[in-house]
Amino acid sequence: MILSNIKKPTLLIDRKKVEININTITAKTKKSGIIFRPHFKTHQSNEVGKIYKELGINKITVSSVGMANYFMNDGWEDITIAFPLNIRELPEIQEIASKIKLNILISSSAQLQNIDICINSPIGFFLKIDTGYHRAGIDYRMTDEIDELLKISSTNPLLSFKGFLSHFGNTYGAKNINDIIAIYHSGIQKLLALKTKYQKKYPEIIISIGDTPSTSLIEDFGKIDEIRPGNFVYYDWMQKNLGSCREEQIAVAVACPVIDINHQRNEILIYGGAVHFSKEFVIDTNRQKTFGSIVELSHTGWSESVEGCFLKSLSQEHGLIHADQAFMPKVKTGDLIGILPIHSCLTANLLKESYLII
């Protein structure tokens, strides 16, 4: 890695760590005999997609029609858009469905109403089920609603029912690893009950789940059929705090130029702000509001996070690091400093045009 070429905040992607992260989950899914359909919303990059492809992945998840289009144009032929159907984009969805194997998400009858007019290619659909996160989807107890949706969809031979899909997003708010595992088991129990009920009529249906915390911690996926985590490819400081990864698994750091140093306040001003990191933060173990953790960069990668140092605030382009007294003499204006982001998905989205695979 040629650090001297970096002039502005740049996402460094450690290819080796990315490969290990992918291989770790792949191995678990192979052992459990289930489908691994990673979520590409985290990286949104054809270059990172290529790493996945080299490691044998051929089914992917995305969270927007635009992303489906982007990855289809790079040769991906089996895509699930894991976001409930936006009926305003039906013409664009039809365009993609006419070319590749596409699955969409349905969570209400209103979404189905315009499909007959706009879609004239075969398309798969999952029913989006809410097992307790309460963001999107049909409440898992509402089997009347599920029956109604399946009845409406059955009149259209182009629509094939693929199964039940859920995102256990409440694991992100879990207090500890045991909580995450409990949310996982409670969620799959609900989904399995649905599968049992409906598979008599639809023998091919599957259960698909997606969050990084639970899919990182669970070793044996038992009766699940498919997982769709995304964040695990990079992980981040939030996942490390949650306990779903170890720090050395974090595969991205943002290289930021050092702009100024304040010795009175033990602060380092960097070029790197909310337009590079977003505004996500965690309350760290020392009870500090933390927008990122600090690492030292080298030509081969980065160090462990430096104790006593953290990104304490962000404005649009500025970031302010609180540094330990011992760290201050190591840094000078014009250096590059590394930041492990709080939420790698949002950071990678903002640095889509400023990254480097090392």
Residues forming contacts to a second copy in the complex (CB under 8 A) are: 6-8, 41, 63-66, 83-89, 92, 107-108, 110-111, 114, 134-136, 139, 169, 257, 259-261, 264-265, 269, 271, 274-275, 278-280, 313, 315-318, 320, 332-334, 345-346, 349-350
Query: Tokens for 15?
Result: 């290819």
The least distance separating a second copy from the CB of residue 223, rounded to whole angstroms, comes to: 27
The least distance separating a second copy from the CB of residue 266, rounded to whole angstroms, comes to: 12
Beta bridge partners, 322, equal 267, 310
The least distance separating a second copy from the CB of residue 274, rounded to whole angstroms, comes to: 6
The letter for the amino acid at 14 is D
Nearer to a second copy by Cβ, of 159 and 350: the residue is 350
**Which residues, at least 6 apart from 155, have a Cβ–Cβ distance to it below 8 Å?**
none
Nearer to a second copy by Cβ, of 135 and 287: the residue is 135
The least distance separating a second copy from the CB of residue 85, rounded to whole angstroms, comes to: 7
Nearer to a second copy by Cβ, of 194 and 350: the residue is 350
The least distance separating a second copy from the CB of residue 326, rounded to whole angstroms, comes to: 20
The least distance separating a second copy from the CB of residue 279, rounded to whole angstroms, comes to: 4
Report how far residue 161's alpha carbon sits from residue 102's, in angstroms, rounded to the nearest whole number.
12
Nearer to a second copy by Cβ, of 295 and 350: the residue is 350
Give phi and psi for 255, each to the nearest 5. -85, 120
Query: Using an 8 Å Cβ cutoff, are 159 and 125 in contact?
Result: yes
The least distance separating a second copy from the CB of residue 186, rounded to whole angstroms, comes to: 19
Strand-pair category, 138-139 with 123-130: parallel
The least distance separating a second copy from the CB of residue 336, rounded to whole angstroms, comes to: 8
Nearer to a second copy by Cβ, of 34 and 242: the residue is 242
Report how far residue 273's alpha carbon sits from residue 59's, in angstroms, rounded to the nearest whole number.
34
Nearer to a second copy by Cβ, of 264 and 286: the residue is 264
The least distance separating a second copy from the CB of residue 89, rounded to whole angstroms, comes to: 5
Query: Tokens for 314?
Result: 């962000």
Nearer to a second copy by Cβ, of 63 and 244: the residue is 63
Query: Using an 8 Å Cβ cutoff, are 252 and 236 in contact?
Result: yes
Nearer to a second copy by Cβ, of 2 and 204: the residue is 2
Nearer to a second copy by Cβ, of 34 and 48: the residue is 48
